[in-house]
Amino acid sequence: MIELEQNKQLILFDGVCNLCNASVQYVIKHDKNNEFMFAPLQGETGKQIINHYKIDTSKIDSIILYTNTNKIYFKSTAALKIASKLGFPTNLLRVFLIVPAFIRNWVYNYIAKNRYKWYGKQNECMIPTENLKAKFLN
């Protein structure tokens, strides 16, 4: 399985989704403690984690948070746990973790289902710039 450094977490994202790519850029900009690494779901690392945890990508296809303790978070829980590690005011979004997951995920699923229609899609995964390559796994 993928081994992460003590203070790192891995965000698996839909590499062809414009909304997901914009979200990754947002996290990079606001990740002041350099906690997050990234990998597209379509890449080798993403496939390895998906296969190891037997994740049904027809149900989970936009964001997964993988921690250095081998915990996996999906959908709204992943997004809110990521937000909680970013600076103020984004970290305030963590209060929504008190909302039951089935309610949060209803909203999350609606956005995820429409993300290509609303934000568009690329033909291939984004390629990180030279100075960001260390944050990305294949």
DSSP per-residue string spanning 39-85: EETTSHHHHHHHHHTT--TTT--SEEEEETTS-EEEHHHHHHHHHHT
Distance separating alpha carbons of residues 88 and 91, to the nearest angstrom: 5
φ/ψ of 75, rounded to 5, equals 45, -130
Which CATH code for domain 9-128? 3.40.30
Q: What is the pLDDT of residue 21?
A: 81
| 42 residue type, one letter | Q
Residue-range domain boundaries for the chain? 9-128
Distance separating alpha carbons of residues 18 and 123, to the nearest angstrom: 10
User: pLDDT of the chain along its 138 residues, tens only?
Assistant: 677 778 899 999 987 778 888 899 899 999 999 999 998 888 889 889 899 899 887 777 779 999 988 899 999 999 999 999 998 999 999 999 999 999 999 999 898 888 888 988 776 666 666 677 777 877
Q: Beta 36-40 vs 9-13: how paired, if at all?
A: parallel
| 16 residue type, one letter | V
Q: How many Å is the Cα radius of gyration of the chain? A: 14
CB 78 within 8 A of CB 87: no
